[in-house]
Amino acid sequence: MESIVETVVFVAIAVVGAALARRLGFVAPLVLLVAGLGLSYLPGFPEAHLEPELVLIGILPPLLYVAALQTSVPAFRHALRPILLLAVGLVLVTAFAVGFVVHWLVPAAPLAACVALGAIVAPPDAVSATAIARRVGLPRRVVTILEGESLLNDATALVLVRVAVGALAGAAVGFWEIAGEVALKAGGGLIIGMVAAVGAAKLHRWIDDPLLDDAVSLLTPFVVVIVAEELHTSSVVAVVIAGLYLGHRMPYLLSATSRLQMDAVWRLTTFLLEGVVFLLVGLQLRMVVSSIETDMATTLTVTAAVFGTLVLVRFLWMYPATYLARLLPRVRAREARPPAAAVTVLAWAGMRGVVTLAAAQTLPPPSDETGVPYYPRELFVFIAFAIIVLTLLIQGTTLPAMARRLGVREDNSAQDALAEAGVQHAAGRAALAALDEHADGAPASVVDRLRGLVESRSNNAWERLGSQQQETPSAAYGRLRREMIRAERHVFKIARNEGRIPEEVLVRAQRELDLEESQLHRSDE
């Protein structure tokens, strides 16, 4: 009972904190982290402890899966070169750079343990970076690169952590061993992800119940990660591949009702998971700080050095990786030269999160039985937590201002509206052709009504190109129809209260009105 109450309390605080963040215009992870840190000092407030298995198997997979579902595969494929440079190359360089810096400052710590710490703090987090990127209005390619990096860098980091921990325990590790381990785990994850995605796609085609579609979608990332972990492959790669495959084919796999309902289910799931995770990071900080045995001067020095190394290495990597590759004619032909301001914003977008939290707690304690030599584990765990806090506080709060100051913003509304209008015109012609083909025997009033619907959709698309009227016809339609729906809903409620209709009739009418009103809201966005 006590654990249930604590869970409810944590979820409630996460919801209130996220609402407050939106009200104040801040990033929710930052607000929740600070809230958790403050609550941890309240007398009698329940302590929180996240097991690494819970994060890596219970929290990370659904977050990665839904991010992959929402990622544009064509855009991801087009940006694959910079994504891989960041998700693989930068993670490896960062891990070893941090490892050497920490080993230099703490000579008693074995280099393998220091490299493990470097791998733990190397991968940026998807949640905060993309949330800020979309809110600020960064160019789509920048957002795609950030999303793609955060989808794949976790796999590189987690494999390197395992290799480094193995080396710490005395396993012989060389370049080819590391390369073989990475290839085996990534290749195995790729195969498992594709097999799982094909199986899930067949299930979705076979199912015609939205509730069952939701259940299959919610189970998919957990099944994938459990199978991948049992076969000792990369569960991150498997989940990402499954999400990319299914997300790209979702329009052909699900009914309209299933897609709408599944979108709502995943939005709620990710909202709660993200909120609770960052709240728990803040709640655990007090315990992590109290467990440090290293002196304060060394702790602060090493923490500052790690943070500085992370920022410096990302900047030093970003510019050559972006511009030197354009010496190759093939790259120049495929990719436009990005402005230095956009590269600077990408370099500054290095907030850490869930993976760093979970991976830090997988560090083994020193023990003669396991062969792990002494190293300041409590210091390394604190550094990982501190990096999450510092990157969110420093980079997370300044990234929007930097993007605005450098002018790295992109308004695609006009281009989107033009493209939509053109495609909507073609879609309208296809719809009218289908109507003419199948209209035999249908009442003329029905055919005329459907023709009017097609024309209305086409006109609405052209209106979005930038009508200078105070209120466009579609906007007036939406405003007036909402007032009409409000009046209809009130009449149904009165009839139910007076006993003239049963509850079932009200529910059915309410659902139809709600669906129509939600469609009006979507067309306004």
Query: For 379-410, b where at least 16 C-beta lie within 10 A, e where not — what string?
Result: bbbbbbbbbbbbbbeebbeebbebbeeeebee
Confidence of residue 295 (pLDDT cuts 50, 70, 90): confident
Sign for the pseudo-dihedral over CA of 485, 488, 493, 496? negative
Q: What are phi and psi of 48, to 5 degrees?
A: -125, 140
* Average model confidence (pLDDT) across the chain: 82
- Please count the other Cβ atoms lying within 10 Å of the Cβ belonging to residue 188: 18
pLDDT, residue 135, reads 66
pLDDT, residue 131, reads 65
* pLDDT of 305 higher than 70: yes
Name the strand (E) or helix (H) holding 481. helix 473-497
Confidence of residue 176 (pLDDT cuts 50, 70, 90): low
- Please count the other Cβ atoms lying within 10 Å of the Cβ belonging to residue 327: 8
Amino acid identity, residue 280?
L
Distance CA 2, CA 10 (A): 12
Expressed in angstroms, the distance from the first to the final Cα of the chain is 43
Domain parsing of the chain, residue ranges: 2-408, 418-466, 480-525
pLDDT, residue 467, reads 52
2-408: in CATH 1.20.1530.20: yes
pLDDT, residue 410, reads 62
- Which pair of tokens denotes residue 244? 């990319």
Distance CA 69, CA 270 (A): 12
* pLDDT of 129 higher than 80: no
Tell me the per-residue pLDDT of 373-424, one tens digit each, with 9 for 90 and over.
888 888 998 999 899 889 988 888 888 888 888 877 665 555 655 666 667 6
> pTM above the 0.95 mark?
no
- Which pair of tokens denotes residue 481? 């129809």
C-alpha dihedral (52, 58, 62, 65), degrees to nearest 10: 60
- Please count the other Cβ atoms lying within 10 Å of the Cβ belonging to residue 170: 12
Which of these ranges, 43-52, 132-141, 352-361, has the smallest mean pLDDT?
A: 132-141
Cβ distance 48 to 291 under 8 Å?
no
Confidence of residue 470 (pLDDT cuts 50, 70, 90): low
